[in-house]
Amino acid sequence: MADHALQIHPIAGALGAEIAGVDLAADLDERTVAAIRRAWLDHLVIFFRGCELPPERLLAFARRFGEVVEYPFINGIEGFPLITPVVKLEHERVNFGGLWHTDTAYLERPPMGTMLVAREVPPHGGDTLFANMYLAYETLSPGMQRLLDGLVAVNSSAKADVTKTREDRLRDGARSEAKREYVGEHPVVRTHPETGRKALYVNGGHTVRFKDMSEKESAPLLNYLFAHQQRPEFTCRFRWAAGSLAFWDNRCVQHLALWDYYPQTRSGFRVTIKGDKPF
């Protein structure tokens, strides 16, 4: 599969592009993988349609971009512990990932990227929003940038809003070896190791306070930043279909899975690619 076959179609001004002209289940050559990675770095989140990817092929594709690692709280699917099921059943009232967040920012080494392939989708609703954290940082005033550049954020897996979104999955698929709480301390402004750009790296799902400050002291500034990160002009919106695959850069992107399809069912497979310690 030659890289010149790729067709890249941006879907919004801030981030996001759909890619056609490639079969992800095939054995891709190095040039094509490099072209996909370049598009991913340029657009922050990329999407593919009509992917026929059984678990082994999903893992094979993900491994072209890095080491695949387990999600800390939920068991993988049978026979494939590195693939996390993302399921919302018809009777469940809260959806997994249903708030703005960066994946597992509470880990010492948060993931580089995440892939999610849809298997079953509702007839309408269930879109995912993505937001560009480069823009979130770059549109702050110079004074605010100077203030944030020296701060460290404390991120917890036990923040109340995010724990609620995973309750249904923990009820039937929790990993027995998971800790009760993971805590990670990371710079509020992180530098992307591949692009060199700065991104705002706090999120409403996991960030609880600034290091050496109380939650009460931290709240006014954090709440301002959380609202700023969600500005519509920083976002794109993706409508899923069965076989759609999204691949987002967890180092500079936040996302929100919309919960607007009760009592319909939605399911997919997710894989997480190992990252490095933010700096």
Clarify whether 103 is annotated catalytic: yes
- Tokens 């706090």 — which residue? 202
The active-site residue out of 166, 169, 266, 270 is 270
Q: Left (φ > 0), alpha (ψ -120 to 50) or beta: where does 50 sit?
A: left
Clarify whether 228 is annotated catalytic: no
Tokens of 130: 């993505």
Rounded Cα–Cα distance for residues 27 and 29 (Å) = 7
Spatial contact of 110 and 250, defined as CB atoms under 8 Å apart:
yes
- Tokens 């990675």 — which residue? 37
The active-site residue out of 3, 43, 101, 190 is 101
Calculated CA dihedral for residues 148, 230, 99, 74, nearest 10 degrees: -60
Rounded Cα–Cα distance for residues 22 and 33 (Å) = 10
The active-site residue out of 3, 43, 103, 249 is 103
β-sheet with 183-187: strand ranges across:
183-187, 152-156, 207-210
Rounded Cα–Cα distance for residues 151 and 172 (Å) = 38
Rounded Cα–Cα distance for residues 140 and 137 (Å) = 6
Clarify whether 270 is annotated catalytic: yes
Side chain identity at 172, as an amino acid letter? D
The active-site residue out of 166, 169, 190, 255 is 255
Tokens of 229: 């990160």
Chain mean position to CA 176? 24
- Tokens 């609202």 — which residue? 227
For residue 146, report the phi and psi dihedrals to the nearest 5 degrees. -65, -40
By annotation, the residues acting in catalysis are 101, 103, 255, 270
